[in-house]
Amino acid sequence: MRRLNDGPLAVLVGERVFSSEFKYRKGTEVFGEGDAAEYVYQIITGAVRTYKLLADGRRQINSFHLPGDMFGFENGASHRFSAEALVETKVRLMRQRSLLHTVASREGSTTNLLRLVTQSLQHAENHMLLLGRKTALERVAAFLLEMDDRQSHPDVMILPMSRRDIADYLGLTLETVSRALSVLRDDGLLRFIGTTQRQVALLNRCGLAQYDA
């Protein structure tokens, strides 16, 4: 049986994963928009944000990547967005060339690689609906439910990202995110744990789902 964190990379190339590991400190860049797309990454521990910037500094975070997630896969020669570690993060990395080569030589792995890209696309489609058509409360509720899902519904969810990160993910300002969280707290849907505001207990997931459109 595979270990949890083997994830897609291991599935793709079978158990013979040819890869190395690397560690990034909190806040450091994994790659920048326009950089040569040499590697594909899979998170072992930690978390990463991938985002695009406008000239005046406005930022849109495409997605947060948690342990097991892959990112950085590109078809062209360069990355179309930037990636930064949210916290101390350990990644497995592999050359895209080797990956494609390995995939090409293995029966059935085409479909798996395709599935991986398609999953990103699916996430993007859902996120466009959120960004284009949902209210602030709906966005924040959807965000909490997404993180909850991806952390397998823990009793206490740990958010590795700041309010600004959440805001740039949801197309809001950090103030609006903070206010929405306060509303949900006051409505008894969640509770902050401990002194930090980054540990959250969801008290009523169904109620939260009601807020999400």
Return residues touching DNA (CB under 7 A).
135-137, 162-164, 171-179, 181-182, 192, 195-198
Distance (Å, whole) CA 115 – CA 211: 30
Q: What is the x/- site pattern for a copy of itself, positions 106-145, by CB under 8 A?
A: ----xx-xxx-xxxxxx-xxxxxx-xxxx-----------
Does 195 sit near a copy of itself (CB under 8 A)? Answer: no
Per-residue three-class SS string for 96-138: HHHHHHHHHCCCCHHHHHHHHHHHHHHHHHHHHHHHHHCCHHH
Q: What is the DSSP letter of 203?
A: S
Residues between 74 and 93 with contacts to a copy of itself, criterion CB under 8 A: 74-75, 80-81
H or E segment and range at residue 41: strand 39-45
| Minimum distance of a copy of itself from residue 49's CB (angstroms) | 13
Least CB distance from residue 3 to DNA, whole Å?
A: 29
State the nearest-atom distance from the C-beta of 203 to a copy of itself, in Å: 24
Dig out the tokens for 14 from the structure: 């079978």
In the numeric block, which tokens belong to residue 82?
């930037």
Binding mask 44-63 toward a copy of itself (x if CB under 8 A, else -) reads: --------x-xxx-xxx-x-
Nearest approach, Cβ of residue 150 and a copy of itself (Å): 18
Query: How far, CA to CA in Å, does 113 sit from each of 43, 73, 123?
Result: 17, 10, 16
The amino acid occupying position 136 is A
Q: For the chain, what is the total number of helices (H) and then of strands (E)?
A: 7, 11
Residues near a copy of itself (CB under 8 A): 52, 54-56, 58-60, 62, 74-75, 80-81, 100, 103-104, 110-111, 113-115, 117-122, 124-129, 131-134, 168, 170-171, 213
